């Protein structure tokens, strides 16, 4: 992709993400974004149909990043402790990239991420006899970890994260 296109898309995404910190997504307009990004509306529309198209593109990028960062999905049942920590780290990508708005009350993001992770787990050899729990576990884990990342104070420390991983492991082992 042309470097100018990359820079423009990044400027649009950054402007949109800054705007989500200022007002609800439903109230953000293309004019708000282009003013913040210091571009013309025609430039925005050259890349996206509307704000929802932009959100979909950003969500898809975030989902791809998280899925790529997950290494041991097939170990969900064999090593749930490691799975939980891996998922926590993978979802940190969203926090670090300020993708939090897509997880704030947006079930579509969680559902799409869960479906993508579910597919990767099957590709990695998840056994079919455990398959019926996968969707529920992924949804529970994704939404729980997103909520943990939203907590500003007190921040989750390593000791607390280990306790949560142990809690998750005990729950999975009881299935």
- pLDDT, tens only, 47-94: 999 998 998 888 888 888 888 888 777 778 888 999 899 888 888 877
42 with 80, same domain: the answer is no
Angle, in degrees to the nearest 10, between helices 131-150 and 158-173:
160
20 with 70, same domain: the answer is no
Q: How confident is the model at residue 108 (pLDDT cuts 50, 70, 90)?
A: confident
pTM: 0.79
pLDDT, position 153: 62
44 with 72, same domain: the answer is no
CATH classification of the domain holding 7:
1.10.10
Q: How many domains does the chain have?
A: 2
Q: Which residue has the higher pLDDT, 132 or 57?
A: 57
Question: Among residues 11, 31, 48, which one ends one of the domains?
Answer: 48
pLDDT, position 103: 47
84 with 154, same domain: the answer is yes
99 with 161, same domain: the answer is yes
95 with 166, same domain: the answer is yes
39 with 92, same domain: the answer is no
How far is it, in rounded angstroms, from Cα 171 to Cα 33? 44
Average pLDDT over residues 28-37: 95
Mean pLDDT of the chain: 84
33 with 67, same domain: the answer is no
Q: Domain residues for 38?
A: 3-48
Q: Is the pLDDT of residue 46 over 90?
A: yes
């Amino acid at each position: 992709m042309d470097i100018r296109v990359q820079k423009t898309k990044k400027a649009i995404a950054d402007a949109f993400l800054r705007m989500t910190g200022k007002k609800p997504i439903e109230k953000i307009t293309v004019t708000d974004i282009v003013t913040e990004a210091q571009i013309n509306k025609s430039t925005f529309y050259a890349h996206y149909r509307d704000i929802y198209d932009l959100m979909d593109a950003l969500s898809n990028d975030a989902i791809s990043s998280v899925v790529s960062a997950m290494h041991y999905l097939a170990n969900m049942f064999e090593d749930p402790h490691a799975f939980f920590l891996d998922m926590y780290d993978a979802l940190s990508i969203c926090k670090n990239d300020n993708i939090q708005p897509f997880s704030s009350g947006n079930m579509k993001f969680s559902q799409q991420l869960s479906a993508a992770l579910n597919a990767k787990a099957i590709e990695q050899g998840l056994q079919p006899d455990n398959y019926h729990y996968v969707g529920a576990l992924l949804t529970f884990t994704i939404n729980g970890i997103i909520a943990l990342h939203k907590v500003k104070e007190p921040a989750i420390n390593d000791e607390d994260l280990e306790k949560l991983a142990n809690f998750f492991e005990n729950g999975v082992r009881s299935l």
